[in-house]
Amino acid sequence: MHRFILLLTLSLVAVSARAQQLTQTIRGQVVDNQSKATLPGVNLLVVGSSPLLAASTDENGYYVINDVPIGRISLQASYIGYEPFVVNNLELTSGKELVVNLELAEQIVSMDAVVVHSRENKMETNNEMSTVSTRQFTIEESMRYAGARNDVSRMAQNFAGVRGANDAVNDIIIRGNSPVGLLWRLEGIDIPNPNHFGDLGNTGGPVSMLNNNVLTNSDFMTGAFPAEYGNGLSGVFDLRMRNGNYKKHEFIGQVGLNGFELGAEGPLSKSSKASYLVNYRYSTLGIMSAIGINFGTGTAIPYYQDITWRLNVPTDKAGTFAFFGMAGVSSIDLISSTSEDSVDNIYNNDLDIYDRSKVGLAGFTHQYLINDKSYTRLTLSASATVNSDIVDSISSETFEPVDFYRQDFTQYRLSANFMYKLKLNARHNIQAGVRGDMFVIDLVDSMYRAQLDRYVTLTAFDGNTTLLQAYVQYQYRISEQLAFTVGLHDQYLTLNGSNAIEPRAGLKYAINDVNSVSFGYGLHSMMAPISTYFKTEEVMPGVYITPNDSLDFIKAHHIVLGYDRQLSPTMRFRSEVYYQQLFDVLIDRDSSSYSILNTGSLTFGSPDFLVNQGTGKNYGAEVTLEKFLDKGLYFLFTGSLYQSAYIASDDIERQTAFSGNYVVNFVGGKEFTLFADRTGQKTKKSIVFDTKLTLAGGQRYTPIDLEASILAGETEYDWDRAFEEQFKDYFRWDMRLAFKMDGKHTSQEWAFDVQNITNRQNPLYQRYNPVNQQVNTIYQLGVFPVPQYRITF
């Protein structure tokens, strides 16, 4: 009897302990990575679970695993005839169900027995046609990395071959190329600059409009990208939006540097798997400025708000329909005439600037599964970008604003993309597609010329032009170890008949289970920034011509060799060497040091007459050592040595503005679970510490001609010595500390990110001060605290 009572008591204690254990649901869908056909009967299990937590996919490829203890988990998928796959260290919280969609690769040689080898999913890319210079990144990384500010652009600055332009903007310099060469793609559509306060034709800004709460794992490419990507020279951000939870309504609230945020997702109908996802954000910088935090913009306060959404509607026979979009508005006034701290304002240059911008995008996607071997995807979208700027110079005598510059740029883009994918068998895959972008533009800007006592038109165009693209690419998986990809891309600009046919090729060979080598080649072309074509020249009073409307594409050959070694199940080493030969580069028709390859966030203006006669070259070597998150620990070390040079119309070879010569990054962190051995806890608590160190070659600059500046009363550069000078090396150390708490139905996080913790004074550029007739150095951001609170429920 006593023994029975003891056993009953122990059983009740065990049941009670299990009742106290915090659990969550994992759900998702499994498809073939080439044909996107759903895979029924796939076995999925939570690695190391006891008792075993597992499920199988239904006839539509969906699965659900209930009552999974929260924390870091690994999910294993296996299916006869397909390569087994393990996704490691997924974070499962109590405030939100975990949706994990998987794509499995078919085995070339069928095996009688399935042997599962743990592979970190970041070793693979979303785009199976890519063989080199591509890294899949998780959205969690943009939330976790110190200094990233929940921004995928700033997160990417940690990758090999990449550095930022300056602390205040998220421009990306890839292998010494201008940030203008980056292609942004969302849901298969080329999109305009997705940043607040961004200019038409540029790719960066102070705050990203792409909210990482609505994104999913995506690809970042730094060279020799596959044939489906066109109109980009330096790299590609191929971003994907996630679907909302189709079974449960969930919510998120967040406040931090990027703004006050509210998000919601859930099912549209209980009888289908249709879902919605929406996130809204409003800037908090005004409040932070009121409590004394200096953002490097002096007394100016940036205001912005944005909204991002996606509706996903799968059907049984008609395919899957999706509706997505984003919209944002922003404004800032940078006033030197009334600002006592304009000298320390990194954006200002003795000017009164009134900046207004609007960006909107709405799209529709239809993916149709023809059979288990092929599918099509049609995407239609419309976008609008509006930039309005008023710039007044400040008189050095009266310190009053003087008319200087006016801009009203509006661009509407209508885009269509159709793609067909055919999986002949496990070895052979073909993809073909066409895309068109119609630009409807109204561009007007003018500058006041004191000697003429009137405004002179710089750009004037009201009309449209279209960029047409087509591509085909083929992959041959010769064996489990060797894969070959070849493709052809063509693009045509209706404005002037510019045409470029671009071959692409890639090869990847797995020497054994841990070593592989890869090769990639591509010819890549890009339009000039749209306003460049319509820059006007006044040939006589009131008579204007557009001398640049016949400009051809800028082009580059990319060659990349890579080596990968899997040091352990959680650690990877990767190295690449590359060479890029740029040609048909836009330079001044007359002899000068100007080249469009130097266009970035700190360069302004261009000559009136441009020609496609410049050249450039970028070459270097990169290494990456990465420990994937395991047992709470991760780190990423990247190092790059590179040269970036150009030749303009004066026939002198110079370093480009972005030739910093080297960059080294270390980012890492450790997650500590608190009171892990304590039973019966109602909450799960953890502390996360992250850090980032960056050391890079200093910013290149053109020296100021002091005597000429004194005579002119404004900054005059010595362009015969373009980018000859270089500031001292750049160094920054960021730290992030976070406290996480999971309750029964909610998850919360308090985080404090301190950027540039040593308050390092990193020079950014120089300017002439007409008051004291001296050259002043403007520095980047000093110590920069970023608090954040986040709740999901």
Summarised one tens digit per residue, pLDDT across range 170-213 is 999 999 999 999 999 999 999 999 999 888 777 888 889 988 88
**In sequence order, what are the beta bridge partners of 360?**
327, 384
Summarize the confidence of residues 713-734 as an average pLDDT.
Answer: 93
pLDDT at 627 > cutoff 90: yes
**Is the CB of residue 169 less than 8 Å from the CB of residue 202?**
no
pLDDT at 634 > cutoff 60: yes
Of the two residues 2 and 123, the one the predictor is more confident about is: 123
* Integer angstrom CA distances of residue 80 from 77, 83, 115, 694: 11, 8, 11, 46
As a whole number of angstroms, the distance between CA 733 and CA 621 comes to 24
Summarize the confidence of residues 28-46 as an average pLDDT.
Answer: 94
550 closest CA partner among 597, 582, 586: 586
Q: Note the pLDDT of residue 271.
A: 87
Q: Note the pLDDT of residue 112.
A: 47
Summarize the confidence of residues 671-678 as an average pLDDT.
Answer: 82
Instruction: Categorize the per-residue pLDDT at 36 as very low, low, confident or very high, splitting at 50, 70 and 90.
Output: very high
pLDDT at 521 > cutoff 60: yes
Instruction: Categorize the per-residue pLDDT at 301 as very low, low, confident or very high, splitting at 50, 70 and 90.
Output: confident
646 closest CA partner among 691, 612, 598, 605: 598
Q: Note the pLDDT of residue 342.
A: 46
Of the two residues 165 and 36, the one the predictor is more confident about is: 36
pLDDT at 116 > cutoff 50: no
pLDDT digits over 356-410, tens only? 999 999 999 999 999 999 999 999 999 999 999 888 877 666 667 777 889 999 9
Query: What's the pTM value of the predicted model, to 2 decimals?
Result: 0.91
Summarize the confidence of residues 745-761 as an average pLDDT.
Answer: 94
Residue type, 539: V
pLDDT at 690 > cutoff 80: yes
As a whole number of angstroms, the distance between CA 127 and CA 256 comes to 33
Summarize the confidence of residues 428-453 as an average pLDDT.
Answer: 90
Summarize the confidence of residues 649-663 as an average pLDDT.
Answer: 96
pLDDT at 128 > cutoff 80: yes
With vertex at residue 676, the alpha carbon angle to CA 675 and CA 678, rounded to the nearest 5 degrees, is: 65
Instruction: Categorize the per-residue pLDDT at 16 as very low, low, confident or very high, splitting at 50, 70 and 90.
Output: very low
Q: Note the pLDDT of residue 346.
A: 53
Q: Note the pLDDT of residue 12.
A: 35
Residue carrying structure tokens 């040689």: 109
**Is the CB of residue 609 less than 8 Å from the CB of residue 590?**
yes
pLDDT averaged over every residue in the chain:
89
Top mean pLDDT of 332-336, 458-462, 465-469 is at 465-469
**Is the CB of residue 734 less than 8 Å from the CB of residue 167?**
no
Rg of the Cα trace of the chain? Answer: 27
Q: Reduce the DSSP state of residue 40 to 3 states and report it.
A: coil
Give the H/E segment covering residue 29.
Answer: strand 23-32
Lowest mean pLDDT among 288-292, 414-418, 550-554, 712-716: 288-292
Q: Note the pLDDT of residue 115.
A: 45
Summarize the confidence of residues 464-493 as an average pLDDT.
Answer: 97
* DSSP E strand boundaries for 294-373: 303-314, 320-335, 351-371
Instruction: Categorize the per-residue pLDDT at 336 as very low, low, confident or very high, splitting at 50, 70 and 90.
Output: confident
Give the H/E segment covering residue 10.
Answer: helix 2-20
Q: Note the pLDDT of residue 249.
A: 96
User: pLDDT exceeding 70 applies to what percent of the chain?
Assistant: 90
Instruction: Categorize the per-residue pLDDT at 417 as very low, low, confident or very high, splitting at 50, 70 and 90.
Output: very high
* Integer angstrom CA distances of residue 646 from 120, 177, 269, 603, 713: 40, 11, 58, 16, 31
Of the two residues 395 and 769, the one the predictor is more confident about is: 769
Of the two residues 455 and 423, the one the predictor is more confident about is: 423
Q: Note the pLDDT of residue 604.
A: 65
